[in-house]
Structure 1
């Protein structure tokens, strides 16, 4: 069993995934616009290029997403997408890249449990938590 994250965007899914892929060293393996689905006839013309389903593979895990029409979109709340890395330098690099244009809610720093830990909401409204455990 795998537990993956599926998020919804306000029409910026493709832009977000193109932003995330190099930062997270992942690979976009699926990016399907509404125009290429059986639902195309039910989608307004201006929404045809928006993404019905996207998949960014990150090793054995995936971040998946879609765009939802404005009347159905709700900003994410009550969770963070958590990234765990083993290298404190990598933690800072990922944190700083994701923070570009976003809001840092807890600057990345050493804590009593982590070599590096920080939280942010990126420019697309997605909340992230970056953690690098202390060496054992």
Structure 2
């Protein structure tokens, strides 16, 4: 397995949180994608379009702190304890499927493994112990 990174979820405060984390860890954002910039932007309510769909801040030694705004208008909700995922970056599609299958056994699949508009092979699940996981394989990273 290549890398495991924390993925944090917020209720509209991702940008503020990450600007704070940037003052602590330094560096520059490697990704900042707003909901308005996605193919699904037409399904997002106007007041949510400038919220963060994905944000990434490298924090050294290959670690990346990532985050998103959960949108109540899209049925997403947060409670303390379910506002983070462990994001696993697999070395291949086969490895991603193996990890996803193993972790989802007796758990709850949230998004099946599939090719995404951002170019990753990606899926989400909650394992039988209540831990939330994101599994992805990015061809560009593997080369």
- TM-score scaled by length of structure 2: 0.51
Report Cα offsets for 1:3-57 as digits up to 9, x if no partner.
1011111011111101111112232111111011111001000000000000011
Report Cα offsets for 1:87-127 as digits up to 9, x if no partner.
xxxxxxxxxxxxxxxxxxxxxxxxxxxxxxxxxxxxxxxxx
Instruction: Measure how far apart 1:64 and its partner are.
Output: 0.6
* Equivalent pair of 2:33/2:54 in contact (CA under 8 Å): yes
* Equivalent position to 1:61, from 53, 60, 63: 63
| Separation of aligned partners in 2, 1:79 and 1:36 | 23
Q: Which runs of structure 1 show a deviation greater than 6 angstroms over 4 or more consecutive aligned residues?
A: none
Instruction: Measure how far apart 1:74 and its partner are.
Output: 1.1
Q: What's the RMSD between the two structures over aligned residues?
A: 2.0
| Separation of aligned partners in 1, 2:51 and 2:82 | 25
Unaligned runs of 5+ in 1: 81-136
- TM-score scaled by length of structure 1: 0.54
SS at match of 2:78: coil
SS at match of 1:23: helix
| Separation of aligned partners in 1, 2:51 and 2:83 | 25
| Counterpart check, 1:14 vs 2:18 | no
Unaligned runs of 5+ in 2: 85-143
| Aligned CA distance change for structure 1 residues 12 and 26 (closer, same or farther; 3 Å) | same
| Separation of aligned partners in 1, 2:18 and 2:48 | 18
